[in-house]
C-alpha cells in the first residue's frame, strides 16, 4: 500500500517542482510546504520520511525553539525532525491552516513569515493545550532555509511561544503597552505571500540586502537614542507577544529599541542570514549582550544572554526606506538563560482571569 501511495505522490511533487520558474529555493520549499499543509501521511513515519527526503538532504538540520522537555530544539536528519517537532506539533494542533505573509527567495536561500490558525488538540512541550481542546489558537512562525544543491540543508524555524502560552490561558510576561497578538500582510499590492517572483528584478536584491543590513546594524548595535534613519516615520512593525505592534517609528523606538538597548549592555550581533527578493527581506541571527537592566518585567541578572531573532522587512528601494517590519524572538530561551522559566509559568499563578 505504501509503495502504491508513494508512486502517486512522488511524480506529482516532481512535476510541480520541475515546472516551477521561480527561484530554485522557492520552488522546492513551496512543493514541500504543500504536502505539510495538506497533512500528507503526517503520522506515518516511514512514508513521511521518504516524502520529505525529496526536499531535504540526508543530513539536514531542523533548528527551532528551546523547550525544557527534549522536544523541539535542534534535530539532525528527517527522522529526528519527525519525532522532535513534526509529531509534537501535530499532536498539539488540529488541522492548522497556514497563511504566509512574506515568502522571499533567492536561488540558495529563502525565508517566510507566517501565521497559523488551528484548534488546540493537546499539549505542546510542557504547555498544557490539552486543557483547551477545541479552542482557537493563533501562532506566528518564521522559517529560514539554506539549500545544498537541489535540496534544503538547513531549516531554521521559530514559533512565537509566548503567544502560544497566551492561547493556552497563561500570560507569562507583563501585558505590553502596545497592541499584542496582531499582525497583517504587507501593505502593498505585491501578492500574498509577497512577492510574486515573476514580477521581481533579482538584480535589485543586493541593494535591498544592503539597506536592511544597515538598518539592522544601526538598530541593534550602533544607535543609542533613535531608530535607523532608514525607517519610514509611519512604518508598521509587528513585534512578538510581550512587545506588540508599533504603528510608527516613534513607538517602535520607545517600546522595542530603547528597552532592549537599556537592558543589554556589551551588545554584539551574530547574523546567520540576510536574504531578499526585491522589496522583501529576512534577517536571522542572535543578539548577544549582558543583562544589566530591566526587560519585559524582569530585573537585571548580570548574565550573558543570546536572543534568537528573525526579522522581516518590506523596503521601498526607490525612496531608500524601510516601510514595514516583522519580528519573532525566542523569548523563553532568552529568559531561561537569565534563570527564569517561562514554560514553568504555564500554571495557576499566571493563568489569565
pLDDT per residue as tens digits for the range 58-83 = 999 999 999 999 999 999 999 999 99
Say what the pLDDT of residue 19 is. Answer: 83
What span, in angstroms and rounded, lies between the C-alpha atoms of 69 and 48?
24
Whether the per-residue pLDDT at 56 is higher than 80: the answer is: yes
Phi and psi torsions of 279, nearest 5°: -90, 5
Say what the pLDDT of residue 18 is. Answer: 65
According to DSSP, the residues that pair with 98 across neighbouring strands are 116
Which residue matches cell numbers 538597548?
A: 261
Q: Is the overall model pTM greater than 0.85, yes or no?
A: yes
The C-alpha R_g of the chain, in whole angstroms, comes to: 20
Say what the pLDDT of residue 3 is. Answer: 40
3-state SS, residue 5: helix
Say what the pLDDT of residue 9 is. Answer: 45
Q: How far is CA 72 from the centre of its chain?
A: 14
Say what the pLDDT of residue 17 is. Answer: 61
Burial 12-45 (b: 16+ CB within 10 A, else e): ebeeebeeeebbbbbbbbbbbbebbeeebbbeee
Residue 187 banded pLDDT, cuts 50, 70, 90: very high
Strands 56-63 and 93-105: unpaired
Say what the pLDDT of residue 353 is. Answer: 86
Whether the per-residue pLDDT at 86 is higher than 70: the answer is: yes
Q: What is the mean pLDDT of residues 104-118?
A: 98
Which residue matches cell numbers 527522522?
A: 79
What span, in angstroms and rounded, lies between the C-alpha atoms of 146 and 127?
30
Q: What is the mean pLDDT of residues 177-187?
A: 98
pLDDT per residue as tens digits for the range 239-291 = 999 999 999 999 999 999 999 999 999 999 999 999 999 999 999 999 999 99
Whether the per-residue pLDDT at 16 is higher than 70: the answer is: no
Say what the pLDDT of residue 292 is. Answer: 98
What span, in angstroms and rounded, lies between the C-alpha atoms of 342 and 301?
16
Could you tell me the domains of the chain?
A: 2-167 (3.10.450.50), 197-350 (3.10.450.50)
pLDDT per residue as tens digits for the range 302-351 = 999 999 999 999 999 999 999 999 999 999 999 999 999 999 999 999 99
Amino acid at each position: 500500500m505504501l509503495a502504491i501511495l508513494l508512486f502517486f505522490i512522488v511524480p506529482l511533487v516532481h512535476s510541480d517542482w520541475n515546472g516551477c520558474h521561480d527561484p530554485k529555493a522557492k520552488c522546492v520549499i513551496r512543493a514541500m510546504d504543500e504536502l505539510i499543509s495538506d497533512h500528507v501521511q503526517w503520522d506515518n513515519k516511514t512514508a513521511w520520511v521518504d516524502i520529505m527526503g525529496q526536499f531535504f538532504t540526508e543530513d539536514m538540520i531542523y533548528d527551532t525553539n528551546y523547550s525544557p522537555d527534549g522536544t523541539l530544539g535542534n534535530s539532525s536528519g528527517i527522522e529526528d525532525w519527525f519525532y522532535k517537532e513534526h509529531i509534537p506539533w501535530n499532536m498539539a494542533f488540529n488541522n492548522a491552516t497556514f497563511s504566509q505573509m512574506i515568502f522571499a527567495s533567492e536561488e540558495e536561500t529563502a525565508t517566510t513569515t507566517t501565521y497559523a490558525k488551528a484548534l488546540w488538540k493537546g499539549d505542546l512541550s510542557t504547555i498544557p493545550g490539552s486543557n483547551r481542546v477545541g479552542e482557537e489558537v493563533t501562532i506566528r512562525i518564521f522559517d529560514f532555509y539554506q539549500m545544498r544543491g537541489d535540496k534544503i540543508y538547513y531549516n531554521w524555524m521559530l514559533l512565537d511561544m509566548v503567544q502560544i502560552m497566551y492561547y493556552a490561558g497563561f500570560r507569562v510576561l507583563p501585558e505590553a503597552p502596545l497592541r499584542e497578538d496582531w499582525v497583517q500582510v504587507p501593505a502593498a499590492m505585491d501578492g500574498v505571500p509577497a512577492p510574486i517572483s515573476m514580477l521581481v528584478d533579482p538584480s535589485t536584491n543586493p541593494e535591498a540586502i544592503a539597506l536592511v543590513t544597515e538598518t539592522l546594524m544601526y538598530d541593534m548595535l550602533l544607535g543609542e537614542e533613535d531608530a535607523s534613519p532608514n525607517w519610514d516615520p509611519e512604518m508598521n512593525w509587528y513585534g512578538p507577544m510581550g512587545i506588540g505592534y508599533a504603528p510608527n517609528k516613534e513607538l517602535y523606538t520607545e517600546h522595542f529599541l530603547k528597552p532592549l538597548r537599556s537592558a543589554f549592555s556589551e551588545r554584539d550581533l551574530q547574523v546567520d542570514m540576510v536574504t531578499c527578493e526585491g522589496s522583501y527581506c529576512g534577517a536571522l541571527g542572535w543578539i548577544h549582550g549582558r543583562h544589566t537592566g530591566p526587560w519585559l518585567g524582569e530585573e537585571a541578572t548580570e548574565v550573558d544572554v543570546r536572543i534568537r531573532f528573525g526579522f522581516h522587512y518590506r523596503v521601498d528601494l526607490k525612496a531608500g526606506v524601510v516601510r514595514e517590519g516583522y519580528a519573532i524572538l525566542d523569548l523563553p530561551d532568552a529568559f531561561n538563560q537569565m534563570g527564569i522559566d517561562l514554560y514553568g509559568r504555564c500554571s495557576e499563578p499566571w493563568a489569565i482571569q
